[in-house]
């Protein structure tokens, strides 16, 4: 019986370590020697192959949002202009056209660089989200329906970055 309990505890512990960093928003801030600014990268990973990145640089205006649905990039996606839409806690906020490409091991990605005004609305809603952050990437058959877990803290990092951006 003791062996079974120890084995169960080890399995639970290894599962928790394996899923650390998934299904929650996190933010990393670092100095960017190329732009001369500070770069804030906010991410939500669904798996090793899929997730969402939000990148803000104090040396630039606005921010970039990249959705990676997890499937392989195909030639039919090249040159596509997807409409990328954002909703927070069930309320659609905005949409903006984007572009497609490949990242990592040839994974499809859709991204848009939000205008200063759209970026400000995005970070305000993102930091205030309580239950859900939803992103429709325009290339997948369904939207990214993500929990808001960690979005308040990660959102504050984006708000600080936006406030420090060049005017």
Residue 146: how many other CB atoms lie within 10 Å: 21
Q: Nearest CA to 159 among 131, 132, 121?
A: 121
Strand partners, 109: 101
Per-position b or e across 5-36, b if 16+ CB within 10 A of its CB: eeeeeeeeeeeeeeeeeeebbebeeeeeeeee
Sign of CA dihedral 123, 54, 146, 160: negative
Lowest mean per-residue pLDDT among 14-18, 50-54, 127-131, 162-166: 14-18
pTM (two decimals): 0.82
Q: What is the pLDDT of residues 77-120, one digit of tens each?
A: 888 899 999 999 999 999 999 999 999 889 999 999 998 889 99
What is the tally of helices (H) and strands (E) in the chain? 3, 10
Q: Nearest CA to 158 among 32, 69, 52, 43?
A: 43
Instruction: Please give the C-alpha separations between residue 58 and each of 54, 121, 125, 138, in angstroms, as whole numbers.
Output: 13, 17, 20, 28
Q: Judging by DSSP bridges, how do beta strands 99-103 and 91-97 pair with one another?
A: unpaired
Residue 105's pLDDT is 86
Q: What is the pLDDT of residues 10-47, one digit of tens each?
A: 444 444 434 456 788 999 999 989 989 999 999 999 88
Hey, where are the domains in the chain? 21-66+82-98+112-164
């Amino acid at each position: 019986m003791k062996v079974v309990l120890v084995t169960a505890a080890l399995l639970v512990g290894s599962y928790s370590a394996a899923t650390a960093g998934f299904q929650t928003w996190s933010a990393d801030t670092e100095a960017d020697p190329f732009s001369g600014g500070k770069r804030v990268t906010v991410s939500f990973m669904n798996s090793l192959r899929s997730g969402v990145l939000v990148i803000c640089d104090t040396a630039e205006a606005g921010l970039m949002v990249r959705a990676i649905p997890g499937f392989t990039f195909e030639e039919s996606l090249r040159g596509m202009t997807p409409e990328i839409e954002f909703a927070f806690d069930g309320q659609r906020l905005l949409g903006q056209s984007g572009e497609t490409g490949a990242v990592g091991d040839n994974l499809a990605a859709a991204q848009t660089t939000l205008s200063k005004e759209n970026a400000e609305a995005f970070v305000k809603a993102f930091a205030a989200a309580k239950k859900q952050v939803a992103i429709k990437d325009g290339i997948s058959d369904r939207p990214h329906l993500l929990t808001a877990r960690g979005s308040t803290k990660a959102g504050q990092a984006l708000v600080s970055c936006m406030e420090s951006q060049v005017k």
